[in-house]
Structure 1
Amino acid sequence: MELHQLRYFVAVADSGGFSKAARICFVAQPSLSQQIIKLEKELGQRLFERLGRTSVLTEAGRALLPRARLILKEAGDIKSGISDDLGSGAGQLSVGLIPTIAPYILPGVLKRFYESFPKARISVNENLTERLIKSIIGLEIELAVMSLPIEDKLIRMEPLFEDPLVLAISPVHELAKSEHVTIEDLRGIPFIALDEEHCLGEQINNFCYERQINPDIVCRTWNLSTIQHCVSFGSGVSLVPKMLVMTDVSNKCVYRPIKGQSPKRTVVAAWHRDRKLSKLAAEFIQIVKDEYAYLLETRSYEGSGNVSPIIANF
């Protein structure tokens, strides 16, 4: 019995299908299926009933699932625990970040991390929230930096900071003349939206919906960098996270805070509820907090395009 077989088994059980599990585990479906078959032969029990594209646990599968989770957890704890016991700062750390956070905070975080732990090695999985949660549950990564909401009961979280959203505008746009804009100003003007597969895209949509604002979405895209370029060319306006503003040195966009009840997202560190974080993971969490605080202190005015100074008062 191999650990990767148990990891594949848990992925199929959680996702309800072999195709989804293969995507989560980043393996070809035939390879995953073969490993499940080998596991079933070794145990002498059928673990899944295949009902079309859906796979349902058999009685034997239900009995194995909690044991498999425990074995994978212990395997992960052994790996991180040995590194901690060495006490030298050496060790392996696997983390995840969502794509609307990683580009803006990860470079500074890695620099700080390696200055403190030069012997450590870190692997980063930049992915969507749903996939990172699967990776946490499957013990493929130790923790992830994401934003709320996260509703999985197997996930434990620690709030890191609040990241406000600001309006990105072309320098020649009429709204660029104002130090503040209101949510009402979004009515009837072209809007560049982030795809709803991103939790940030969904959060922005919900914010507008709750205030009965239906932006005139002329383009929906996957990447915040694409949004910046479209905005700079005058194709529309958009809501973007402040951490993007604090790391923008292009001077191609103007950024304005939303007056009144401004939108924001809560960024958290998330990990498996049954897993004790390694010392490296705990240090990584603190470094993320420190890096965002540093950006707030040093980049609120600098490197943010034509930013209203009031943006620093969020």
Structure 2
Amino acid sequence: MDWVPDLRQLRAFVAVVEEGSFTLAARRIFVTQSAVSHSLRTLEEQLSCRLLDRTGKRVAVTAEGELLLRRCKRVIFELEQASRDLDGLRRWGQTRIRIGAPHSLCHFLIPSVLREFRDCFPRCEPVIEAGDTTVLLDRLSGADLDLVVGLKPRGRGDEGYRAMFKDRLAFVVSPFHPWAVDPSQVLSSINDHQFIIYAKATETHRLIEEWLEQKGGRGKKPLVLG
């Protein structure tokens, strides 16, 4: 059976079932009673089954009608929700924004920024997704994200990028570590120490590797996070 659902027919069917009356259903969906009757008659003809039993002014749902009712309620809800979502996309401040950021920024920067964002755009829902900047930028290119906050990877053009702030990478050591006592020892003894750094796929890892190569040191095999 080839059947193309008509939303007006489905609305009329649901209204008749829920109101228990063609007259009340017509008032509910703002059409004439004859239009409701025509929609139901056409729907039954298209489906080749009886959906309602009519006894005088009373209306009862058949087994086939019960089955269709469950399905078409879901269809109507999804279509109405899609209409609301599309309407929201047409008006800034009525929708959501999908933001990608590295895990470190999600912990230390994004929470404070979100508070200010919600104050400025109370009707816009931010959705935050954490990950490596390179992966997030690929998702941005595929329209899965609206904005990415993170380190700008090497080899990418300047178009579409806006500098927000400069960050500084630093060694973090115990107060009793020799480097804390005498920072001048860092470069001369860098190969004697093991570091804990981000995963190899991250931009931060690549920056650290480049810096070590420039300084002529590699250090011991690092402990990699992630």
- TM-score normalised to structure 1 length: 0.40
Q: Distance in 1 between matches of 2:208 and 2:183?
A: 21
| 8 Å CA contact retained: 2:98, 2:127 | yes
Q: CA deviation at 1:107?
A: 0.8
Equivalent in 123, 129, 137 of residue 125 of structure 1: 129
Where relative contact order (Cα < 8 A, 6+ residues apart) is larger, the structure is: 1
1:103-114 → structure 2 map (5 Å cutoff): 103-114=107-118
The alpha-carbon distance between structure 1 residues 136 and 177, as it changes in their structure 2 partners (threshold 3 A), is same
Equivalent in 178, 189, 194 of residue 174 of structure 1: 178
Equivalent in 100, 105, 113 of residue 104 of structure 2: 100
Kindly provide the CA deviation profile for residues 75-125 of structure 1, in whole angstroms up to 9, marking residues without a partner as x.
Answer: xxx8786122xxxx4331111112232211011111111122222101112
SS at match of 1:157: coil
Tell me what 2:200 maps to: 196
Kindly provide the CA deviation profile for residues 34-68 of structure 1, in whole angstroms up to 9, marking residues without a partner as x.
Answer: xxxxxxxxxxxxxxxxxxxxxxxxxxxxxxxxxxx
The alpha-carbon distance between structure 1 residues 131 and 155, as it changes in their structure 2 partners (threshold 3 A), is farther
Q: Distance in 1 between matches of 2:165 and 2:178?
A: 32
Tell me what 2:164 maps to: 160
Question: Does 1:207 pair with 2:211?
Answer: yes
Please tell me the residue identity of whatever aligns with 2:172: A
Please tell me the residue identity of whatever aligns with 1:83: R
Tell me what 1:187 maps to: 191
Which structure's residues are more often strand, by fraction?
1
| Percent of pairs with identical residues | 17
**Structure whose alpha-carbon radius of gyration is higher:** 2
Q: Distance in 1 between matches of 2:133 and 2:196?
A: 22
Please tell me the residue identity of whatever aligns with 2:164: L
How many residues are treated as equivalent by the alignment? 141
1:141-290 → structure 2 map (5 Å cutoff): 141-152=145-156, 156-178=160-182, 182-222=186-226
Q: CA deviation at 1:150?
A: 4.5
- In the alignment, structure 1 segments of 5+ residues that lack a partner are 1-77, 223-314
